């Protein structure tokens, strides 16, 4: 066999393996995973996911004396050892945590209750009876939370997005957008669709905004689309001086953006408890 023919054979085998892998995901995975067809939200006051938007009665302010500490972290379905210790440290240091790939297991619920954290979560899919999706954890209850879903174009796994509103001590309302962005797509169609879902609420909001999550910006075209959207909304990027955020193909994929706040500091915690490093930001209410 000539080298050229041998390389062609290897390429054909590689393509076949990719096709078999995709077919396995599409055919086999749904036998064990239940996909959500409509976005549903749960908060700490509820026992089940009930509607796209959930309201709660709370007058407690999210910030502490005008200071607001925020963390964003893809927790990798709590698959790695040490996640509870890492999350406990983050809970002590931050009033708000934007989490992605959260598995709402009994173990996680026990941790949450022991650490006095309020949750709002969008269910993307279930493994058995256990929901998975994005979640906001905070020391106070959000006044409203709304969920959104967008399906990955090939594997059809839904990705979830969450908008939550929190009262602040200066009389303003903070809008928090937490996303786990479309990943398995080279084009920008579904990626753009997911961002577009949130635009009406983000444009309508007159107060401060925090926008972030695992945004899967693993190539320049994705980053450019995200940058264009955040610029339109008047959002600024949180960029740590020592930027050790998780990267794919040289691009950082975890982000925080903000508006109507003053950024005082930002840092990344390097950890082995997930395949992502938490991104932290310290804000002061108001713009300087």
Predicted pLDDT of residue 288: 80
Q: What is the mean pLDDT of residues 225-243?
A: 97
Q: What is the mean pLDDT of residues 241-270?
A: 98
Predicted pLDDT of residue 188: 95
Q: Evaluate if residue 19 carries a pLDDT over 60.
A: no
Tens of pLDDT along 67-88? 999 999 999 999 999 999 999 9
Dihedrals phi, psi of 74, to nearest 5 degrees: -85, 115
Q: Evaluate if residue 2 carries a pLDDT over 70.
A: no
Tens of pLDDT along 185-213? 999 999 999 999 999 999 999 999 999 99
In this structure, is the dihedral angle defined by the CA atoms of residues 203, 205, 209 and 212, taken in order, positive or negative?
Answer: negative
CA dist 158 and 155 (Å) reads: 9
Tens of pLDDT along 49-68? 999 999 998 789 999 999 99
Please report, rounded to a whole number, the percentage of residues in the chain having pLDDT higher than 90: 81
Predicted pLDDT of residue 148: 97
**Contact, 102 vs 108, CB < 8 A?**
yes
Cα dist. 188→194, 197, 224, 247 in Å? 10, 14, 11, 19
* Rg of the chain, C-alpha, whole Å: 20
- In this prediction, residue 137 has a pLDDT band, given cuts at 50, 70 and 90, of very high
Q: What is the pTM of this model?
A: 0.89
Listed residue (50, 36, 245, 51) closest to 150, CA to CA: 36
Q: Evaluate if residue 218 carries a pLDDT over 90.
A: yes
Please report, rounded to a whole number, the percentage of residues in the chain having pLDDT higher than 70: 89
* 284: exposed, middle or buried (Cβ count in 10 Å: 0-12, 13-18, 19+): middle
């Amino acid at each position: 066999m000539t080298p050229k023919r041998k390389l062609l054979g290897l390429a054909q085998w590689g393509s076949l393996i990719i096709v078999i892998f995709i077919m396995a995901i599409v055919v086999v995975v749904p036998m064990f995973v239940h996909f959500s067809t409509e976005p549903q939200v749960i908060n700490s006051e509820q026992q089940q996911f009930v509607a796209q938007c959930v309201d709660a009665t709370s007058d407690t302010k999210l910030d502490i004396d005008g200071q607001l500490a925020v963390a964003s972290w893809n927790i990798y379905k709590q698959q790695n050892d040490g996640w509870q210790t890492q999350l406990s440290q983050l809970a002590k240091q931050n009033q708000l945590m934007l989490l992605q790939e959260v598995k709402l297991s009994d173990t996680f619920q026990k941790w949450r209750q022991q650490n006095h954290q309020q949750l709002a979560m969008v269910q993307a899919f279930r493994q058995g009876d256990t929901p998975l999706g994005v979640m906001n954890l905070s020391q106070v209850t959000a006044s409203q939370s709304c969920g959104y879903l967008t399906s990955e174009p090939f594997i059809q796994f839904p990705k979830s997005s969450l908008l939550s509103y929190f009262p602040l001590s200066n009389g303003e309302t903070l809008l928090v957008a937490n996303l786990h962005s479309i990943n398995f797509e080279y084009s920008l169609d579904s990626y753009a669709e997911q961002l577009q879902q949130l635009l009406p609420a983000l444009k309508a909001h007159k107060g401060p905004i925090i926008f972030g999550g695992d945004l899967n910006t693993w190539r320049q075209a994705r980053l450019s689309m995200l940058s264009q959207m955040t610029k339109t909304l008047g959002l600024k990027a949180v960029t740590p001086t020592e930027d050790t955020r998780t990267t794919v193909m040289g691009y950082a994929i975890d982000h925080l953006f903000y508006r109507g706040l003053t950024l005082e500091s930002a840092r990344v915690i390097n950890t082995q408890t997930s395949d992502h490093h938490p991104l932290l930001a310290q804000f002061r209410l108001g713009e300087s």
